[in-house]
Chains A and B, each alone.
Chain A
Amino acid sequence: MFDGSGFEGAGWLVVWPVLIPLLGAALAAAAWGRERTQATISIVVLGAQFISAAVLFDHVWSHGVVAMSMGGWPAPFGIALAADPFGAFLTVVGSLVALAVVAHSLGATDAEHRRAGFFPLILALMAGVAGAFLTSDIFNLYVWFEVTLISSFGLIVLGGRREQIDGAVKYAFLNLIATTLLLIAIGLLYGLTGTLNMADLSGAVAALPQDSTLETVGLLFLVSLGMKAALFPLYFWLPAAYHTPLPTVSAIFAALLTKVGVYALIRVFMVVFPDSAHLAREAMIWVAVATMVLGALGALAESDIRRFVSFTVVSGVGVMVGGLAIGTEAAFLGTIFYIVHSIIVSAALFIAAGMIASAGNATRIEDLAGLYKRAPYLSVAFLIVGLSLAGVPPLAGFWPKVYLVQAGLEAGSTILVVGILLSGFLTLLAVGRAFALIFWRAAPEDAPTPPAPEFGNLVKGSLGALAALTFLIGLYSAPVVKASTRAAADLLAPDAYIEAVLGAPRAVTASDDPVLGKEVTE
């Protein structure tokens, strides 16, 4: 059944990466209060999700887009899940990093906060992330956004400290407004086209008059998804909230939630609006450059270690969207590589920041000093991850920036090239400053010397694994480049995706719908 010969058998491959964590979340919730059982379930389930995503990616690589309509309803009426190389690749990387982060949380010292639903919520979050990566229905995308949102609401308040509640209020209100704006955009698009299937929308939008209504819908998508992805000028909620929850929760948020927003931006603008929404596209390049530069400046000015990391996440989002704004194949190669790199590095940096805070017993950079002597392992890992973030060769962060700068030069977009180089330089300064102050600076002599921090093997190992991953991708980038090239090429030629989702030949379209058809064809 899984040899890929039959449509349905292969179609099931796209279901498992979503369904496995969902069932796992259900099991973990059923085991409420039994923490060890929940931890075992989480590790097994995330491992299974990774394997299923890898099998899916392998199948997509050799056989093309895999699509399955839920309940066997014919396209475009049913809700379809579909995996192209882009979505499948991100699912693989996302589930791998989630596995590392959850393994880290098992050894972390904040065990008492885990009782209140950490594991079921993380698994539900992963189901939502995989669902968003693999759905081909735009309303379904909104539903998966809400699944991640409601699990992230639960995760951000775990622990219940004062500043956490404060950060959670800002996070919750602004993200809820963002998803409501997304729903408004989807509602308007449905009113214009009468369909919700992204593949069907592709043709339906192209057939519409390219007027101000369509431009408005495009801008609404940019604003709502940009708010979720933390783009300028709507990123202020991120540094206000991401430093407050448990370090592992911050790590998984930074690794995946903004990337889901960027992914949705790319998907919507490449499949639904490939040749429309020009205003939004023109705005995008400026927004992206402002985001990357202001994020890096924020990181440079910040004195709280975890807020510093939050600002670097914002800066990275700008780089990814910059590639989308240019929209050439080379630019997408850089963007997709950068997303993969950023998923790994953001998680590692938040994990490292949490370890720094517990090793130095402080969160402000000026209160931390001399950690190199007391935690050499941590300092090496932080240096590797930080330099990779800044884009220093030969680490993983260097290559996507090379491709993006090249694409920017080819497309004649000086502003993007300047933005990427400037933000890279500022990030390097910020990382260097943080490293010098936290690790190199000698501790004041009168300060009491707390005992050397003791981290368990899981805590060290997960950080080490992520740092090693970004190091190895830097040295041997060929597989990631190959996968990103393929994903970028498929993004620019969405016909295969559209055909796989709709199922060729198209029997009926939504414009034949007896109710909407007469309105749409007017």
Chain B
Amino acid sequence: MNSLILKTATPFLVGLTVLFSIYVLLRGHNVPGGGFIGGLIGASAFATYTINEGVAATRRAMVFHPVSIAGVGLFIAGLSGVASLLFGDAFMTGQWWFPSFAPDLKYLSTVVLFDIGVYLVVVGAIVAIIIGLEEST
């Protein structure tokens, strides 16, 4: 695509979208948000980037192969369910840790770990689809 406005805006847009997607990911456990929707927002950042800079640049920007990122995400999500085995609970039971020095820190849990895994799966899978579609045209 050849648009001066979009080209100028892309660096800011992509950075802000990725930041926003991480914000949505982390606020997810008590208010609307979470790994899936955050992942979609993150993937849309890479989609914007691909439209402007091309597939090769996106591959470079992602460092790892998108499918590898999705695989790591799935592994993290799966392992977060196993953590409850150590505490004698059923599979996928959420485990929370409220450290005594910072009791307001509510992110240290397997639930957030699961959401991070979902986030990576969604970003990796959707970017893989976008790259596949871009390359086949």
Contacts and interface: CB of A to CB of B under 8 A. Distances in A.
Contact of A120 (B71, B81, B82, B89): B71
Interface stretch (A23-31, A227-235, A324-332, A464-472): A23-31
Interface in B58-83: 65, 67-68, 70-75, 78-79, 81-82
A117 B75 CA distance: 16
B68 A25 contact: no
A30 B90 contact: no
Interface stretch (B17-25, B91-99, B100-108): B91-99
Nearest to B86: A1
A25 B89 CA distance: 25
Contacts of B85: 1, 12
Interface stretch (A67-75, A135-143, A307-315, A338-346): A67-75
A120 B65 CA distance: 14
B93 A72 contact: yes
A59 to B, nearest CB: 16
B74 A29 contact: yes
B88 interface: yes
A26 B82 CA distance: 15
A204 to B, nearest CB: 24
A498 interface: no
A35 interface: no
Given A12-B85, A22-B78, A32 B71 contact: yes
B88 A26 contact: no
Interface residues of B, number: 21
Interface string A3-44: 000101101100100010011011111111100000000000
B63 to A, nearest CB: 13
B74 A12 contact: no
A120 B71 CA distance: 9
Contact of A23 (B75, B89, B93): B75
Contacts of A26: 71-75, 78
Given A30-B72, A31-B68, A69 B78 contact: no
B90 A71 contact: yes
Nearest to A27: B75
Contacts of B91: 11-12, 15, 19, 68, 70-71, 81
Size class of the A contact interface (CB-based, 8 Å): 20 to 34
A32 B88 contact: no
Contacts of B93: 71-72
Nearest to A70: B92
A72 B8 CA distance: 51
Given A12-B85, A29-B68, A117-B67, A19 B94 contact: no
A72 B70 contact: no
Contacts of B82: 19
A318 B135 CA distance: 44
B84 to A, nearest CB: 8
Contacts of B67: 29, 32, 117, 120
Interface in B5-21: none
Most buried by B among A6, A12, A69, A71: A71
A71 to B, nearest CB: 4
B68 A30 contact: yes
A19 B81 CA distance: 10
B71 A29 contact: yes
A30 B65 CA distance: 8
Nearest to B76: A26
A28 B74 CA distance: 11
A106 B101 CA distance: 54
Contacts of A6: 88
A8 B91 CA distance: 9
A378 B7 CA distance: 62
B105 to A, nearest CB: 23
Contacts of B72: 26, 30
Contacts of B65: 32-33
Contact of B89 (A22, A33, A72, A117): A72
A273 B93 CA distance: 32
A388 B72 CA distance: 43
A117 B125 CA distance: 13
B67 to A, nearest CB: 5
Nearest to B73: A26
Nearest to B69: A30
A6 B90 CA distance: 12
Contacts of A9: 88
A30 B89 contact: no
Contacts of A69: 90
Closest 5 CB pairs of A and B: A29-B71, A30-B71, A26-B74, A26-B75, A72-B90
19 contacts: A8-B88, A8-B90, A19-B82, A22-B78, A23-B75, A26-B72, A26-B74, A26-B78, A27-B71, A28-B71, A30-B68, A30-B72, A31-B71, A68-B90, A70-B91, A71-B91, A71-B93, A72-B89, A72-B90
Given A6-B88, A9-B88, 15 more contacts: A11-B90, A12-B85, A12-B91, A19-B81, A23-B75, A25-B71, A28-B71, A29-B67, A29-B68, A29-B74, A31-B71, A32-B65, A32-B71, A72-B93, A81-B91
Interface of A: 1, 6, 8-9, 11-12, 15, 19, 22-23, 25-33, 68-72, 81, 117, 120
